[in-house]
Every structure is written in structure tokens, then in C-alpha cells.
């Protein structure tokens, strides 16, 4: 008679032991303190498959990994996945998941690291802060779409290839989408700072006395780092520590190594979690691309990608989205937005960056798009085949790149990439260099060029200035006359052709930069 109602209570069987030693059920990590779901915008539940997502999207993605057959789109192939409308279409939901970087390979286990937690807190904070404008989505407003979309679509196809990984491109056109994207929400990201520096990089409080306090036995952390960072070219593993200990009074020894460590960590976590594929995979794809291009040219002659003018022409006259550019636009915007957000997470770790004025911060970010993107992808430029893999599944030929904008753009990129490749930088070194670049600008009309050697002086000073975090000492010779060795800014400060690399200078600078970072107290 006892129908034995299935008490599945999988866990609630604690009836018997009144002894109970489990007082606190581990505070369920305040959900509000986590970044929102990157897929559907709903409150996040942690970091899943390499991305901050909600419980639902996590589950969905997991199911999708098992699933054999493909999903079918329930809309017209371009469903918008947003808060509240998660389930409208599994196909597009999955695509969005992938677009924001979810992947089986990106899974992380175990505890958060120092750096990661820092970001999360920051981001959660920004999310909590009251949105100035009632417009949440903000990224791009439909109302202005008729205009902006048209304008953007032109530059978009340029962006498209490279912008995916990090914002890149070289044209003035880029200003358009970028400034649009860079508005409200991301300003907020940049704003509320302080937090990081104080809670985790309390350089100000420690500053003068690198007191032997030794919060932790961090000392042994250093070797690990240096072994990664330094090839044979410079600084022996010990130099970092010793140099700092003896010569530097501005910061603790653990400080610098942790800063570097955090930079690398954040970068790994944010910037290119899925950009790393095995060389074999890349090569394979590049060969395929090469072959495809060759065949295409044989059959159709010189390749002619639908230019933006042509596209706009068609769009204007017929209103048709010929090749689906606008279709992918919305999603693309979100991907770009994400990459910017990630980049911001990265630069905020750089000591001192936060203390720049908001304007300068934005300037630096914007001005460094190209360099940044190149540093992120130079390794996958294949000089011999003249193809470059910008991102997983995105390989372009030199011709394609050229046809996207200026004739020389592609060529220049290849040259730069090649020059950097010759340096044989380790991945970690590249990251550090990226950080240096992030605070380096040739612009002279910044709010506080004086305050941070960063902006106008030579990179070497910046490197040290930045990495020592609190040493705001203006370069003794931060004279305006000296131009950054990194790049040559085209006289026309106009947005157009912005910068030209000089392979030679870039090379030596890189070497120097890396060196000074590893050894810290390098004399010029």
C-alpha cells in the first residue's frame, strides 16, 4: 500500500544526524557579484567553458557538446539571443555561445586566481553601477541604424577579418564603429577603477618600504616566471629578483613578479583563450587557404572581393543585404564588444593605467588597436604562403587583406608580422610587450602627457615607469623632441594612415623592452 512516493531527495537525507557540523553552507557566492551571462545577458553563474555564463547557457552548451546532430534554426538564421529570449532558437544560441568563446578546451577547473577574481569584481561592480542612460543595449541603436549601419557596413567588412580577435584595422573608417562601440558601457568599465590598485596592487601603501613583510613566501614564485619569460637572450632567472632587491626601492620584489604574472594570466584568460591552436592546425588551414586562393585566381583571375563601395551601392539602390553582411552585423558587434571588454580587463591590470584620465585611457586603447591586434596574431602570419590566420577558422590571403582597404595594408602587416616573428619572442614576452604598447602613444594632445611618461616619452622609460607602478617620476629627459622608437607616426595626425612600422626599429625596441622587463633595471 505504501506507494513509496519517490523521494528523490538526493541530498536532503540528513535527518538522522542532529549532530550537524555543517554550520555554513559555503556562502553561495553572491550571484550579483558575478559578471552577467555573455550569451543571454541574464545574471551569471560563474565561468563556464571559458566564458561567464548563466547556469542555463552552461547547461545548454554542455548538452550541445554531446549532441550528434545539428540544431535547426527556428528563425531565419540570425536570431537574436538576448535576455529572456534564450530559447527562441537553439541553433543561433549555440552560435552565440561559440561566438563569445565558449569551448570545450577553454574549461577551467579549480579556484580562481588572484587576477581573475580582480576582473570579476571589477566587472560586477560596473554592472551594478546605475546605467546613466536608460538605454541598456546602447551598443548600437536601431533608430540610427539606417545611417550607422550603412556607414558601418563599409568599414565592417574590413573589420570583419581582423576585428574578430581584437579590434584591429588601420583605416580611419574604423573610428566610426569604434567610437560607437566605445560609448557608455565601456566608459563605465574604464571608470570605476581604484579597486584594483588598492585591493590588490596596493602599491601606494607599500610604496617606499618594500618591507620584508612578505605576505607570502612569494619568493619562489619568481623562478617559475622567469623561466618562461626569458630565453637566453637576457636576464638570468635570478636577475629579476636581485635587481629589484638591490636597486629598487619603489616596490617590493614580489610586486613586480606578481604584476607580470597577473598580466600574463589575465591575458591568457581574456584575450586569446581560443586563439591558440596547434601549429599543425594552423598550417593545415593556411595551406588550404593558399590552395583555395590559388585555384580561385586560376579560375576567375585576380580576386576581387566585393568592395565596400560596391556593397553600399547595391544596398542603397536595392536595399538588399547582398552577402549577408548586416545579418552578421549584430552578432559581430557583440563579439567586438566582448573583445574590447577583454582588452580593457587586460590594460587595467597595468599599474598606473587607471590613474590616467579617462580620455587618455580611451585614446590609448583606440590608438593601439592595430598594434595590439598584430601582436595577437603575428605568429600566425605565414610569410611563405602569404596567408594569415587571424583567428580560428579565419585565414586570409595577402590579396584579400589588400583588397579590403588600401593596397599596402596587407603588405605592411605581413612585413610587420614577419619582423616580429624574427624576434622569436615567447608568448609571455609578447604579452608583456603588449602591455607596454598599451601605455605607449605617439599622441601629444593627451590630457596629461607630463604625468605619465607613458604617453610621449620613449618606451623604455614607460616600461619602467609603468611596471614600477608607483614611480611617477617624470622622465628627466622626457623631452618632446624624442620620438618613440616603436613607430613613426605619419605627420598627418589625421585619422587616416596612422602609423608605419619600421621593422628595424621595432625589432630593437622589442628586444630592449623585453630585456628591461625581465631585468627591470636595465640601463639604456
Cross-strand partners of 391: 394
Rounded to the nearest angstrom, the gap between the alpha carbon of residue 369 and the centroid of all alpha carbons in its chain is 10
Of 123 and 470, which CB lies nearer to DNA in the complex structure?
Answer: 123
Please say whether the beta carbons of 444 and 456 come within 8 A. Answer: yes
Shortest spacing between CB 99 and DNA, in angstroms: 17
Nearest alpha-carbon partner for 437 in 426, 447, 429, 445:
429
Q: Which residues bind DNA (CB under 7 A)?
A: 6, 8, 10-11, 26-27, 29, 45-50, 54-60, 62-63, 65, 67, 86-87, 90, 93, 104, 107-113, 117
Q: Which is nearer to Zn ion, 54 or 489 (CB)?
A: 54
Name the residue nearer to Zn ion (CB basis): 70 or 297. 70
Q: Does residue 401 touch Zn ion according to CB under 5 A?
A: no
Quote the CA–CA distance of 102 and 98 in Å, as a whole number.
Answer: 5
> Which is nearer to Zn ion, 52 or 118 (by Cβ)?
52
* Residue 49, contacted partner among Zn ion, DNA, none, CB below 5-8 A by kind: DNA
Among the listed residues 343, 418, 413, the one whose alpha carbon sits nearest the alpha carbon of residue 170: 413
Q: H or E segment at 395?
A: strand 394-397
Q: Which residue, 92 or 423, has its beta carbon nearer to Zn ion?
A: 92
DSSP β-ladder status, 47-48 and 51-52: antiparallel
Q: Tell the smallest beta-carbon distance from residue 43 to DNA (Å).
A: 9
Q: Distance between CA 509 and CA 403 in Å, rounded?
A: 31
Least separation in angstroms between CB 445 and Zn ion: 42
Cell readout for 299 is: 579560375
In the three-class reduction of DSSP (H, G, I as helix; E, B as strand; rest coil), residue 52 is classed as strand
115 binds, among Zn ion, DNA, none (CB under 5 to 8 A by kind): none
Among residues 86 and 267, whose Cβ is nearest to DNA?
A: 86
Query: How many other CB atoms are there within 10 angstroms of residue 129's CB atom?
Result: 11
Least Cβ distance, residue 221 to DNA (angstroms): 11
In sequence order, what DSSP letters do the residues of 112-172 get, joined into one string? PPHHHHHHHHHHHHHHHSPPSSS-SS-SS-GGGHHHHHHHHHHHHHHHHHHHTTS----SG
Under a CB-based contact definition with an 8 Å cutoff, are residues 509 and 485 in contact? yes
User: Of the two residues 72 and 316, which places its CB atom closer to DNA in the complex?
Assistant: 72
Which value, in Å, is the radius of gyration of the alpha carbons in the chain?
25
Q: Centre a 10 Å sphere on the Cβ of residue 194 and count the other Cβ atoms it contains.
A: 11
What is the x/- site pattern for Zn ion, positions 91-110, by CB under 5 A?
xx------------------
The size of the chain, in residues, is 524
Residue 37: contacted member of Zn ion, DNA, none (CB under 5 to 8 Å, by partner type) = Zn ion
Instruction: Render 268-335 in DSSP notation, one character per residue.
Output: IIII-SSS---HHHHHHHHHHHHHHHHHHHHHHSS-----HHHHHHHHHHH---TTSHHHHHHHHHHH
CB pairs under 8 A, 24+ apart, for 184-187? 184/131, 184/132, 184/133, 184/135, 184/138, 185/138, 185/139, 185/337, 186/337, 186/340, 186/341, 186/344, 187/358, 187/362
Burial environment of residue 88 by CB neighbours within 10 A (0 to 12, 13 to 18, 19 or more):
middle
Instruction: Give kind and range of the element (H or E) at residue 396.
Output: strand 394-397
Contact between residue 184 and residue 138 where contact means Cβ atoms under 8 Å apart: yes
Residue 92 interacting entry, from Zn ion, DNA, none, C-beta within 5 to 8 Å by type: Zn ion
Smallest distance from the beta carbon of 416 to Zn ion, in angstroms?
Answer: 38
Query: Are the CB atoms for 270 and 113 separated by under 8 Å?
Result: no
Smallest distance, Å, CB 217 to DNA? 13
| 8 Å CB contact between 439 and 364 | yes
Torsions phi, psi for 381 (to 5 deg): -90, 125
Q: Toward DNA, which CB reaches closer, 70 or 291?
A: 70
Q: Are 407 and 171 in contact (CB under 8 A)?
A: no
- 30-69 mask for Zn ion (x: CB under 5 A)? -------x-xx-------------x--x------------
Q: Kindly list the residues in this chain that would bind Zn ion in the complex (CB under 5 A).
A: 37, 39-40, 54, 57, 73, 75, 79, 89, 91-92
Amino acid at each position: 500500500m505504501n506507494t513509496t512516493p519517490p523521494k528523490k531527495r538526493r541530498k536532503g537525507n540528513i535527518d538522522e544526524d542532529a549532530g550537524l557540523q555543517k554550520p555554513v553552507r559555503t556562502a553561495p557566492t553572491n550571484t550579483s557579484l558575478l559578471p552577467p551571462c555573455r550569451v543571454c545577458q541574464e545574471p551569471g553563474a560563474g565561468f563556464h567553458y571559458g566564458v561567464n555564463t548563466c547556469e542555463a547557457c552552461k547547461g545548454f552548451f554542455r548538452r550541445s557538446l554531446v549532441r550528434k546532430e545539428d540544431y535547426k534554426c527556428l528563425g531565419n538564421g540570425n536570431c537574436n539571443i538576448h535576455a529572456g529570449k534564450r530559447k527562441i532558437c537553439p541553433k543561433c544560441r549555440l552560435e552565440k555561445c561559440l561566438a563569445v568563446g565558449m569551448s570545450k578546451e577553454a574549461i577551467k577547473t579549480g579556484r580562481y586566481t588572484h587576477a581573475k577574481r580582480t576582473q570579476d569584481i571589477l566587472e560586477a561592480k560596473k554592472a551594478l553601477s546605475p546605467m546613466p542612460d536608460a538605454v541598456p543595449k546602447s551598443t548600437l541603436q536601431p533608430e540610427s541604424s539606417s545611417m550607422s549601419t550603412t556607414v558601418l557596413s563599409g568599414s565592417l567588412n574590413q573589420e570583419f577579418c581582423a576585428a574578430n580577435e581584437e579590434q584591429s584595422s588601420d583605416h580611419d573608417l574604423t573610428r566610426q564603429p569604434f567610437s560607437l562601440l566605445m560609448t557608455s558601457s565601456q566608459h563605465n568599465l574604464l571608470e570605476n577603477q581604484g579597486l584594483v590598485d588598492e585591493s590588490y596592487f596596493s602599491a601606494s601603501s607599500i610604496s617606499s618600504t618594500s618591507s620584508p613583510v612578505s605576505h607570502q613566501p612569494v619568493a619562489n614564485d619568481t623562478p617559475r616566471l622567469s623561466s618562461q619569460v626569458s630565453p637566453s637572450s637576457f636576464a638570468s632567472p635570478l636577475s629579476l629578483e636581485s635587481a629589484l632587491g638591490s636597486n629598487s626601492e619603489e616596490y617590493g620584489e614580489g610586486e613586480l613578479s606578481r604584476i607580470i604574472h597577473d598580466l600574463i594570466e589575465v591575458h591568457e584568460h581574456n584575450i586569446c583563450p581560443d586563439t591558440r591552436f596547434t601549429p599543425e592546425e594552423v598550417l593545415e588551414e593556411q595551406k588550404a587557404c593558399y590552395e583555395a586562393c590559388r585555384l580561385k585566381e586560376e579560375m576567375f583571375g585576380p580576386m576581387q572581393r566585393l568592395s565596400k563601395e560596391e556593397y553600399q551601392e547595391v544596398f542603397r539602390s536595392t536595399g538588399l543585404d547582398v552577402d549577408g553582411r548586416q545579418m552578421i552585423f549584430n552578432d559581430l558587434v557583440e563579439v567586438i564588444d566582448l573583445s574590447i571588454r577583454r582588452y580593457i580587463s587586460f590594460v587595467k591590470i597595468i599599474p598606473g593605467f587607471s590613474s590616467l584620465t579617462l580620455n587618455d585611457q580611451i585614446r590609448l586603447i583606440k590608438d593601439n588597436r592595430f598594434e595590439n591586434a598584430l601582436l595577437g596574431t603575428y605568429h600566425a602570419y605565414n610569410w611563405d604562403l602569404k596567408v594569415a590566420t587571424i583567428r580560428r577558422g579565419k585565414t586570409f590571403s595577402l590579396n584579400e587583406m589588400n583588397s579590403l582597404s588600401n593596397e599596402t595594408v596587407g603588405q605592411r602587416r605581413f612585413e610587420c608580422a614577419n619582423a616580429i616573428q624574427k624576434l622569436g619572442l615567447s608568448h609571455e614576452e609578447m604579452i608583456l610587450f603588449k602591455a607596454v604598447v598599451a601605455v605607449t602613444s605617439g599622441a601629444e594632445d593627451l590630457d596629461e602627457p607630463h604625468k605619465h611618461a607613458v604617453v610621449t616619452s620613449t618606451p623604455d622609460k614607460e616600461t619602467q615607469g609603468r611596471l614600477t607602478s608607483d614611480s611617477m617620476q617624470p622622465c628627466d629627459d622626457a623631452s618632446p623632441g624624442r620620438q618613440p622608437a616603436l613607430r613613426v607616426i605619419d605627420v598627418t595626425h589625421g585619422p587616416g594612415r596612422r602609423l608605419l612600422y619600421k621593422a628595424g626599429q621595432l625589432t630593437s625596441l622589442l628586444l630592449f623592452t623585453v630585456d628591461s622587463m625581465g631585468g627591470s633595471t636595465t640601463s639604456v
